[in-house]
Each structure stands twice: as structure tokens, then as C-alpha cells.
Amino acid sequence: MKIELEQAADFLRENDDYLILMHANPDGDTLGCGFSLCGALQRMGKRARAVCPDHIPARFDYLREAVEEQQFEPQNIVCVDVADSRLLGELKELGDKAELCIDHHISNLDYAKRTLLRANYAAAAELVFEVIKALGVQIDRALANCLYTGIATDTGCFKFSNTKAQTHRYAAELMELGAECGKINYLHFDLKTKGRLALEQHIYKGMKFFEGGKIALVCLTLDDMSRLVDIDSDDVSSIASIPRQIEGVEIGISFKEKKNGVFKASLRSGEKINSALIAQKFGGGGHDRAAGCSFDCGYEKAEELLIAECVKALREAGLE
């Protein structure tokens, strides 16, 4: 059931003992949302715990400053930045019992009992920011850092086309509330480990082009990841943006091998191509410019199917 901001705030005021779920392969938005909402509820005197099914990269450790560790039996489950309970991995069954979902993905499946959705927002953290303000919680430096992280990372440090005037206004407000934007931007957009450099070298070396360079594709297998030392999930997630950085590329594709022979594809596109529509053909979804889907048919077939759909999208957009 779709609800509005005040209804979400009322639900959070009237209940307690919250388990806040963040999606697998976590990014800055789901983590920023999870820890900020958890911290805000704790500041209201409620019990709350934020949980992610996967390891959280070390560069996000500062987000934990916003919360206290609390032990209790959860009574209410809240999902943040999670469009589909399947994105929760091993926590899917808990997600299916969610009382509230706060999200910004147009592809949200409305799996929670209540869904607060703003599909036109650049980041779910913008919406969580509004929720926290509606709750009347004073936003301190730690909470501001979480929310700024969500906004900055989901907009590529305000470079992506999803960035709107509101995005900048909210970021500015968070800076006034103490967000350490210089530190956060350095951690997520400038700092590179030696492992990440080796990963990027591997990706550039193996990049493939189609349709005269309008489509660029990279693939990272489990074997690749076993040979590339000192990389974490955050490093691996970063490869999704690399193909679209090449001049002339309209659609960038990154394949990552998961367990049991499944390959996850991430798509990034220019303004004339809707990535979500392509991903939806294979049971996935996302945003207009950034989306994803999964294949269990083997890599060669997955590449063939996805490239064919991308070529079709190029032709329909007059970009062939």
C-alpha cells in the first residue's frame, strides 16, 4: 500500500523495536539510509538496529557513529532503498514481512505492507531526510554524514543526470548541519586502494565494444576476483560506472559472476536510453540511467541476450 510522508512518520512514532534492512551488495544510499534512520529512532528513545546481509566495506565505517548497538526482539521491519525483497539476499524472508519500505526506485514491487516511494528523487536518502525531519529529530553531525553519503554516492558526487536542484539544496542543508563533505567525497570518489587500481587495470584490459563503440561491456568472474587481492565489495561495485566513461558509449554493461553460475548485469546509459526498460526484459529493474538484472543461463548466452536487447534500444532511440 502506497502511503505519504506523514503516514510513514506516524507509523514510526507509534511503534518500537525496529529492524531496518539494507540491501545486499550495499551501496552508500542503502547504508546511509539504514544508519541514519536507525540513529534517528534511537534518539527518539526507541530501540532500533540496522542490518545488512553482506559485509559492509571499511570505507563506510564512519556511518556506525550514528547508532548504538542494541539487543532486542524486533517487532517491526523496515526496508530502506530496497525495491524488491529478493535484493535482501539471505534476509528476503524478513523483507517479505516488512511493515514499511522507504524507497526511490520506480521498479519497487510494493512488497511491504506500507511503501513510501518517491521515484523522482535522486537518492532514497533524500526521502529518509524528510522522514527524519517529519519525526522532529534534531539532525547532528553523525546523522548528517549518513544522509549526505546516501545522496552523494547515488548521484556520483552530483554528476549523474538524476541530480536535481532539490538534491543540491538537501546536500547544502546537511553541510550546514555538520556533514563532513570533504572527508566523505574523498573516501568515496578519490581514494583508491592498490587492489582497486589492479581491478580497474584488469577491467580496462578486458573491455569489449559493440555497435561501433556505442556499447561497452566488462565482465568480472569469480576466478578474476580470487586472483585480484585486496579488493572488497565496494571496489567491485565501482566497475559498473567504468564502461560509460568511455567517449561515444551510450550503454555501459558490467557483468559480475555470483554463486551458482549466476551473472548479475549492471547497466548505465545516456539520456536517450532507458536502462530500466532493458533490465525489465530480464526480470530486473532500476532507474532510467542505472539498472540491473541477473542471468542463470551461462555467461555467453547472457551476453548474447543482453547485447541484442541493447542494440534494439539503440535502434529505437535512433542511435544505431
Alpha-carbon dihedral sign for residues 190, 195, 201, 203: negative
pLDDT tens-digit readout, 305-315: 999 999 999 99
What is d(CA 102, CA 135) in angstroms, rounded to the nearest whole number? Answer: 14
Fold type of domain 194-316: Diaminopimelate Epimerase; Chain A, domain 1 (3.10.310)
Average pLDDT over residues 118-134: 98
Please determine, for residue 173, whether its predicted confidence score (pLDDT) is greater than 80: yes
Continuous segment of H or E residues that includes residue 260? none
Question: Picking from 15-24, 91-100, 225-234, 245-254, which range would have the lowest pLDDT averaged per residue?
Answer: 225-234
Q: Any idea which residue has 539471505 for its cell?
A: 90
Give the model's pLDDT for residue 179.
Answer: 98
pLDDT of residue 297: 95
Number of C-alpha atoms within 13 angstroms, CB side, residue 11? 21
pLDDT score for 231:
82
Instruction: Please give the model's pTM, rounded to 2 decimal places.
Output: 0.86
pLDDT for residue 163: 95
Q: Look at residue 233 in the predicted model and tell me its pLDDT.
A: 74
Give the integer Cα–Cα distance in Å for 5 and 121: 14
Give the start-to-end residue ranges of the domains of the chain: 5-190, 194-316
Q: Taking 80 as the threshold, does the pLDDT of residue 64 lie above it?
A: yes
Q: For domain 5-190, give the fold.
A: inorganic pyrophosphatase (n-terminal core) (3.90.1640)
Per-residue model confidence as pLDDT tens digits over 42-52: 999 999 999 99
pLDDT band at 234 (very low <50, low <70, confident <90, very high): confident
pLDDT of 232 strictly over 90: no
Q: Is the dihedral of CA 127, 90, 98, 73 positive or negative?
A: negative
For residue 84, pLDDT over 90 is answered with yes
